[in-house]
Every structure is written in structure tokens, then in C-alpha cells.
Amino acid sequence: MNQLFEVNENKIEKNHSQFVISPLDQGYGYTLGNSLRRVLLGNIGGAAITSLEIKGVKHQFSTIKGMREDVIDFILNLKRVRFSVKKSFDKPQEVKLEVKGPSEVKAGDIKVSPLLEVVNPDMVLANLDKDGQISAKMTVEYGFGYRLADSQRSERLGLIFVDAIFSPVVRVATKVEETRVGRLTDFDKLILDIWTDGSKDPKEVLVEAAKVLISHFEQIISPKVVKKEDKKEVNKDPLGLVGKLSVEEINLPTRVANALIKAGYETVESLANAKKEDLARVRNLGEKSLKIVKLALAEKGVSFLEE
């Protein structure tokens, strides 16, 4: 089969390129097009703000004195800030925003680490009056796809999680046409349009997508043995997000919840690991209360004081 084909790029706009890939053997226009589109939309990494802390703000439903937008509007604007990655990183990066009014707060005012660069510095985040000011610390992470804020939980007051859009690819469109090679007309021409958010170039993400596909095919050709993980390692955090729930969030009577908190048992995880003799010494916590706790934890799928 003929694997010799050309990839020609036509730069339509700054962040939009059209690639013409041909000639392809019949049927391979759809094979390549569908595979590349799937990877481009879901498996290309990028950087995004995942959480923030604003000085003087305890939760996202607050307002900031002297700022025309409320905190929710401010967060929605932060979600649209795009970062290009100068050098890959594994650990979350902290960025800061400190502006005093009167001022138009822009994405370019964010002070980033040397590993990052703000792609859309002119985007307006908020408007401050004369008596307004904002001081915020934000966490930027590298990831793939989309991460919901609700999938994360923290007991630290004032830490606000953000819905993070990591993918730099905004849109992908594919089209397959017939093309001629000499007298033969049964070849495919794949027309691939790629739009990005500016943090990566369309040609760059196309190459990344091809590399992802190659890595999967290589595993079929030369399989690498997958080592079985030690069960103890896998079960380091068996409770997951349920373990982070506070005792107030599992519908315990106020009296029981307060008694547990005063004794230092503030989360489901701490209760699940508690010993019966230690709980017996907790003031205002008798056998009846322990049964109530056991039932509440059972509803969350957590065993409690098992023999």
C-alpha cells in the first residue's frame, strides 16, 4: 500500500490552519481524519488555572469592595485566561495578581513563573474603582481535557476551585474528497481544519496528535509488560473523596457531630481509622451515638468499628 503522501499547511488565521493530506489510499482519509480528530479534541495537553485564593474572600459567592464584578464573574473571566508553556512541568505553578484601583484588571497583570506566558494579556478580568483592590494567588496546572471544580475538595477556608479547560484545541473539522494520481482516481484527500486558543500552534498540536497515535500503535507492535502494582500501594487512599467529607456533611445529629469535632474526629477518614477504646473516651458519645455514626457511614459505603 502507498504510504507516501504530503501534508500541506494553509495558514488561514493566526490560530487557524487548514491541512491538506494526500494522496491517501481509498478509505484512509476517514481512518486518519477520525483518529486525529479524536486525539486533537481530547488528548492534547495545556495549562489552566485550577484554584485560587482571594485576600478577604471566604467563598465564591462573595463581593469585593470597589470591584464592579462579583467573585463569580471574576472566576468566569479567569477561566478564559490562556497560558503557553515555555518548559514542561509536573508540579502546580503559583501565579499572583495584585492590582489597586482605579484600574482595568487584565490577564497581563498576572505575575507568572518563568515556565509560563499569558497568551491573551489584553483580556479584561475586572474593573476596580478608586477604593478597590484585589490580591489573589492562583494555581496553574498542566493537564488534559476538562476538569470540573466539583471533582475537587478542600477543607481550607477560602480556597476556591475552578473548572479548568486544559485543551488548547478549540475546534477540529475534517472533510474527505477524491483525488487523482495519474490516471487513477480512487485516492483520498483529507482536509483537516484546526483552531487553537493561541497557546499552541495548529501545526504543533497536529504533530502531537500523530505522536499519541504512534505510541498506541507501538504498544501493539512491541508490547511492554505492564507491572502489577502492589495492592497496598493501590489502596493508599481507599476512601477517595468520601474520606475528605467532614462529619457535618454526613447528616449526623448536631450534638454527635460537635462531640466528634471537639475530640479531633473532623472527617470521615479520621472516623474510619478510629479505635473503639479511643471513641469510648469521647465526652457525650455513648453506644447509641456510635450506632448512629455507624449507620451514617454505612450510607457512604464506609465500614466503622469492624471487629
- Output the DSSP codes for 259-280: HHHHTT--BHHHHHT--HHHHT
- Residues 31, 177: one domain? yes
* Residue bearing cell 457531630: 257
Question: Domain boundary at 103, 133, 165, which?
Answer: 165
Structural domain range at position 158: 45-165
- Both 129 and 268 in one domain: the answer is no
pLDDT, the chain, mean:
87
The reply to whether 160 and 176 lie within a common domain is no
Q: Are 65 and 136 in the same domain?
A: yes
The reply to whether 228 falls in a domain is no
d(CA 63, CA 269): 34
What pLDDT, on a 0 to 100 scale, did the predictor assign at position 275? 77
pLDDT at 158 over 70: yes
What span, in angstroms and rounded, lies between the C-alpha atoms of 29 and 178?
Answer: 9
Residue at which a domain ends, from 147, 165, 183 = 165
Please check whether residues 129 and 190 belong to one and the same domain.
Answer: no
> Is residue 266 domain-resident?
yes
Q: Is there a single domain that holds both residue 54 and residue 108?
A: yes
Q: Which residues contact 161 (CB under 8 A, 6 or more apart)?
A: 50, 51, 149, 150, 152, 154
State whether 161 and 172 are in the same domain.
no
pLDDT in tens, 108-151: 999 998 999 999 999 999 999 999 999 999 999 999 988 888 87
In terms of pTM, does the model score above 0.75? Answer: no
Instruction: Average the pLDDT over 181-207 and give the result.
Output: 92
pLDDT at site 307: 46
Same domain, 194 and 265: no
- Do 243 and 111 share a structural domain? no
Same domain, 59 and 133: yes
Among residues 265, 257, 250, the alpha carbon closest in space to that of 299 is found at 250
Q: Are residues 152 and 172 in the same domain?
A: no
CATH of the domain at 272: 1.10.150.20
The helix (run of H) or strand (run of E) holding residue 206 is helix 202-221
